[in-house]
Amino acid sequence: MQAATADEKKTALHLHFDAVSRKLMATVVPDPAAAALDVATLRAMIEAEGWGQLHYLEEMSIGLIASHNAGTACSLPIAEAIDASLHLEISPDAMEAWLTLTPAAGGKVVSVQNVLDLLAENNVAEGIDLPAIESALLAGQVERAVVARGRPPVHGEDGRLESLIPEVRDRRPRINFDGSTDYRDLGDIFVVHAGDWLMLRHPPGEGTPGRDLLGTVIAAEPGKAVMFASKLAGTQFDTDNPDLLVAAMTGQPVVVSGGMIVEPVYKVAQVSMASGNIDFDGSVVVAGDVCTGMKVRATGDIEVGGVVDMGTLDAGGNIVVKGGVLGALGRKTGEDCEVRCGGNFHAVYAQQAKVAAGDTIFIDDTAIQCELSAVNHVKVGGKKRGNIVGGSVQATYSIAAKVIGSPNRALTRCTIGVNPKLLQEAQELAKARDALETQLLEISKLLDFASKNAGRVQPNMVEKARVTAAQLSQQIAEKRAQQGALQQQLELAQGARVVAEQILYEGVEIHFGATRYKVSGEHAACAVANGVDGPELQALK
């Protein structure tokens, strides 16, 4: 025992460490002259004699203090040495090992070798993370820190189709996740000739196998082969390379689902009584105007170099009018005319026109007393004025113009909101993911039972379960990514706005589903969005 301190002499207490029980014993020898003992004094004595690192036994110490102050002899343990402890868990799929470390209290500490030995005892031979182990020991205390990771398989890349024509048009459905829209001028129709290279098919990758912590090889899934669609009009395969798609005729190349087609292009100077109506399987280029009462239908794109004056355009692809569109809305005429397209609509101006687009409507100058309807966006205003005056405008994500409404308070109705197809997709994805997670849970229970009951489950069944668990985890990750992408679209729809970059006039009504917002007064550079408490006006930054 160490020499007693000055403070200890004032007490009737003596301390000594019992190496057998690994406890610090305190013995009270009654002394009428001894000063009263309290917790602070007792803790100070323990620290002063070099036993401060021991685990303090609070309840025993309370009894000791009571006996000391009552002048009753006793001998009690008041602290003990505790060794550091390690606990290892292995995930059900054997891809992660988690270490829990309880620090020592005056007892033996653990070393890196102790952790390595524990991993070896649990048959962990792969993916040991030495820096993570050292970091855990440096911290002194950790709970379920990852100290070993299996190497997941790298699945092969899917085969892909590569377009070999940079100017090709793409008619596959698309959504801009950031809310922006590419309002580029589609320009003239690009033409290829027989024999021109169109698209190259790349084979899928084989992937790289993985390995779990126990050394079991996890097979990689080869990528999915991509196939050209069975019927790609206007094309053929190269005689020397079955993966190379080439043009079989002169026409417009268009990317479609499963490859590329070449559409014939019909060119006409003007659509009038002299040319008659046009109904063409392919794309149509009109150099001049589409005259009153005339109709143009095309399965591909329609381009008009002049003006559409109370004519009808119906395109499966995009429509570009390099002049303007004059419709019959509000006019005393028997003409029934409208413009419809499956892709984007682009014109310089529109007046009293009815326009419906499967993607985006872009009008460079003005839209006056029109009915505009687009699945995604409506944008009025490029390098020119950008006014929406009167009529109605409908879109899912955004309606934007430089000026909306007019000083004379012309009624201008804007309707914006969610595309119901997105909600249905989200529900179907959630249901599919739930089913996969239920399967993974059941397999995880089997693997957990097998790890706790060695020999009760056949090894081949355990191996099959691990492979299946890895596959399900991958599928769940894919579904999660799809849900994330879809959620972005839904959030964009929830954050849909009507934007007036310069002026928003009184007389404008904005509808968010069943909710209506009537603009009162004149507002500079603002947007109307659906807030927590309903539609609200926001200043543009």
CA distance 414 to 402: 14
Supply the DSSP string of 90-143, one letter for each residue: E-TTSSEEEEEEEPPBBS----HHHHHHHHHHTT--S-B-HHHHHHHHHHS-EE
| Dihedral of the alpha carbons of 161, 167, 169, 175, in degrees to the nearest 10 | 80
Q: Which pLDDT does position 427 carry in this prediction? A: 80
What pLDDT, on a 0 to 100 scale, did the predictor assign at position 495? Answer: 74
Beta bridge pairs of residue 444? none
- Whether 512 and 492 have beta carbons less than 8 Å apart is answered as no
The rounded mean pLDDT for the chain is 87
The reported pLDDT for the residue numbered 524 is 94
Residue range 50-57: mean pLDDT, rounded: 91
Of 4 and 158, the structure prediction assigns the larger pLDDT to 158
Tally of residues, the chain: 541
Residues 373-426 pLDDT 10s: 998 899 999 888 999 999 999 998 899 999 999 999 999 999 887 665 666 777
**How high is the pLDDT of residue 474?**
86
| Weakest mean pLDDT among 125-134, 229-238, 305-314, 452-461 | 452-461
pLDDT at 344 exceeding the cut of 90: yes
Residue 439 pLDDT exceeds 50: yes
**DSSP string over 37-57:** --HHHHHHHHHHTT-TTSEE-
Determine the pLDDT at residue 483: 84
The mean pLDDT value for 52-80 works out to: 91
Question: In this predicted model, which residue has the larger pLDDT, 166 or 282?
Answer: 282
Residue 186 is predicted with a pLDDT of 46
Identify the pLDDT of residue 270. 95
Distance CA 39, CA 20 (A): 26
Say which DSSP state 299 is in: S
Question: What local confidence, expressed as pLDDT, does residue 421 receive?
Answer: 64
523: nearest Cα among 541, 509, 537, 513: 537
Percentage of the chain modeled with pLDDT above 70? 91
pLDDT tens digit sequence for 453-510: 877 888 888 888 888 988 898 899 888 888 887 777 666 667 788 999 999 999 999 9
pLDDT tens per residue, range 208-252: 999 999 989 999 999 999 999 988 999 999 999 999 999 999 888
Check pLDDT > 50 for residue 147.
yes
How high is the pLDDT of residue 502? 95
Rounded Cα–Cα distance for residues 526 and 520 (Å): 13
For residues 38-45, average pLDDT: 91
Give the span between the Cα atoms of 165 and 198, in whole angstroms.
6
Give the C-alpha separation, 42 to 68, whole Å. 11
- In terms of pLDDT, which residue wins out, 165 or 88? 88
Q: What is the pLDDT of residue 10?
A: 59
515 vs 201, residue with greater confidence: 201
Mean pLDDT of 252-256: 87
pLDDT band of 448, cuts 50, 70, 90? confident
* pLDDT at 6 exceeding the cut of 50: no
Mean pLDDT confidence for 120-135: 93
Q: What is the pLDDT of residue 181?
A: 44
Global pTM reads 0.55
Non-local (6+) Cβ contacts of 6 within 8 A are none
Task: Grade residue 168 by pLDDT with cuts at 50, 70 and 90.
Answer: low
pLDDT band per the 50, 70, 90 thresholds, residue 167: low
- pLDDT value of position 7: 43
